[in-house]
Amino acid sequence: MSVGFGGPPIIEGIDLDVRAGQFASLIGPSGSGKTSILRVATGLLEPLRGTVELGVSRCRTSASCFQDDALLPWRTARQNVALGLRIRDLPPAEADARADHWLSKLGLAGYGDRFPGQLSGGQRSGWPSPRCWPCARSCCCMDEPFAALDAIVRTRITQELLDWVEREHLTVLLVTHDLEEAISASDTVAVLGHGPRATMRARHAVDIPRPRDVLEARRHPAFGPLLRTLWDDLTEEAASSPATADGAAR
């Protein structure tokens, strides 16, 4: 697959095969094209050449959550998070109870009646992700959904995501800069090379059984070696990138 915006392709010859039920993460340098791939996967962007298949063709029954997803300012925290569950036709009381549970995992127990404007940027940043999960019938695409969360909250909500994914048998494509998050959540981690014309550098299987406990996964013997491999991949990409000091020095 190739992707572009009118000029030369920003991504060339990417082959990203995600099987139904698989949890795949996509990592890579800033500007390498991760969000663009997600947009192609969800049908928001047409590839120049090729197609993306994510369990079902082009994720027709997908839900997606992007970095700049808006919260609805006239809805409370609970109503924002419960929106996906209500779209899924859960009875209001059940949707509210589940939304409160997710808010508590986001460190916002007791904040359900607050409006977005009454909370900090970090406090609001985790909502779009659980809001979108229930809308996914087969596949869920997420772009750095937990980037602004602190480590404890991030671990808790990632566990909620994994539990939901297991329960709903979802296919997931997650874009993240957090290598530990990528390994502990995924079955495979794809590494994009640097721009301006990115290609796929590597694809690694995560040999840790599912269902997973996020913290236990980090103690699994396969975790450390894969973390070092991903780090090496990204370090070498930075060293060869024309856009970084490392690459410029070569």
Ligand X SMILES: Nc1ncnc2c1ncn2[C@@H]1O[C@H](COP(=O)(O)OP(=O)(O)OP(=O)(O)O)[C@@H](O)[C@H]1O
Chain residues binding ligand X by CB under 6 A are 5, 10, 28, 30-36, 195
Q: Which residue number, 27 or 103, has a Cβ lying nearer to ligand X?
A: 27
Furthest-apart CA atoms within the chain: distance in Å: 61
Q: How far lies 65's CA from each of 25, 55, 128, in Å?
A: 14, 18, 6
CB atoms closer than 10 angstroms to residue 68: 7
Q: Which residue number, 15 or 216, has a Cβ lying nearer to ligand X?
A: 15
The CB-of-171 to ligand X minimum distance in angstroms stands at 20
Q: Which residue number, 128 or 195, has a Cβ lying nearer to ligand X?
A: 195
The CB-of-104 to ligand X minimum distance in angstroms stands at 29
The CB-of-169 to ligand X minimum distance in angstroms stands at 27
Q: Which residue number, 103 or 182, has a Cβ lying nearer to ligand X?
A: 182
Contact in structure between 240 and 194 (CB atoms under 8 Å): yes
Instruction: Give me 159's structure tokens.
Output: 């566990």
The CB-of-147 to ligand X minimum distance in angstroms stands at 9
Contact in structure between 3 and 44 (CB atoms under 8 Å): no
The CB-of-143 to ligand X minimum distance in angstroms stands at 7
Q: Which residue number, 27 or 165, has a Cβ lying nearer to ligand X?
A: 27
Angle at 237 between CA 4 and CA 125, to 5 degrees: 70
In 3D space, the residue among 224, 164, 35 whose CA is nearest the CA of residue 172 turns out to be 164
